[in-house]
Each structure stands twice: as structure tokens, then as C-alpha cells.
Structure 1
Amino acid sequence: MSPGTTRKPADSLDDDDYPAYTVGRAADMLGTTPAFLRALGEARLITPLRSEGGHRRYSRYQLRIAARVRELVDQGTAIESACRIVILEDQLAEAQKINQQLRDDQSASR
């Protein structure tokens, strides 16, 4: 959103980065505990935003990351290892995206 534009209330509905979920609601949606989400914060995998009252708020994007870690943990992976796997998966996806963009740019310039 550019500076000076006004955000409409409905804009947040489609924003994956909007911190809409409390720690309790997020944990409930993931079928886990607030302590699990705090552990992801301590591992620096996700950093929830804070409400004016200091309460943690999670976005849909952060919940997808947490859900992936939960899958790995449920399969027996240690939480620290699961966090590292998710980080590496994200880095790989970003590198593949950049490589594809470079290939597309190279093809277009021919």
C-alpha cells in the first residue's frame, strides 16, 4: 500500500500478513498449545506481532509455517530440527523462484 492511502477494514481479510489471530485462537486452529507457538518464537522461526496490550498476534502466513513445523514434529522430528527444515525449504523455494525469473529474463532477451 502506498503512503497516504487509506486502508479499508476489508483489506485485512485477504492480507496473509495481517496479524489477526490471538495465540489461543492460533493454537486452537493448529491443534496445538500456546507453548508450541511460543517455542517457534524462541526458535526465531516466526515472530508474532504484538497488540497494543502486548498480546501475541499471528498472521495466516505464520500459521501455515507453524502448521508445517507441527507436521514435522508429529512425524517425530525435534522442534529445533523442524524449524531448520522449514527455513531451508523456504530458502530453496526462494532460490528456485529467482532462478526461474533469471531463466525467463534470459529467454525474453533472446
Structure 2
Amino acid sequence: MNSKFDESVEALLEAIRKHDSIQAFKKAEQHIKKLPELEHLAHKMKAYQQDAVLFQKIEKDQAASKAGQEADKLEQELSQLPVVQDYRDKMQDASDLLQYITKTLEKKINEELTDAK
């Protein structure tokens, strides 16, 4: 029984890996990874966000505000880049597929459990 289950899971995973939305996401992800300047900007944005939280904790409101504004500015700059927008779109499509599969499996399992009672 367990072997059949494992085979079914592996077949599902393989189908997911081959799905157009997953393939498109992987391609967009590879493209993003080839752009180190994006990683640098994202790292700077995270650093500003961390500074803002730290300054807030030590009650340095003006410094927290400035760091928060810098983080927001970088986030906006990153968000407007076409490569980032494409990546986010592809990630959303892949996420939608996985949510659909998860909900469908959950529904089928619940139906099986209800029928078994």
C-alpha cells in the first residue's frame, strides 16, 4: 500500500515539475539569479528594514523613519523592474497551481474520510 502511495506522490510531483506555470517560474527565477545587482539591492533593502526595526527598539524615531523610508524607496525601485514583475507574476501562477492542487487533495481526502465513516 505504501509503495502505491509513494508512486502516486512521485507521479504528482513529476506532473507539477512539468507544468507550464512551474517551468515558467523556474525560468524567471534563473533569470533573476543571473542579475547580481538585484540581489545587492534586495540585500540593501533588507538591511534598511532591519535598521528601522533596531532604531525603533532603541527609540531612535528619526533614524527609524529614515531607514524605513530608504527601505521603501528600494522596495519600490525593485518592484518596478520588469524582470521582478515577471518573476512575481510567474511565482503567483505557480502558487495558484499549488494551492489548487492542495485544495483538491484536501477535498478528496475529506470526502474519503467522510465516506469511510
TM bracket, shorter-chain basis: 0.3 to 0.5
Question: Which structure: greater strand fraction?
Answer: 1
What is the TM-score normalised by the length of structure 2?
0.33
Larger Rg: 2
More helix by share: 2
TM-score (normalizing by structure 1): 0.35
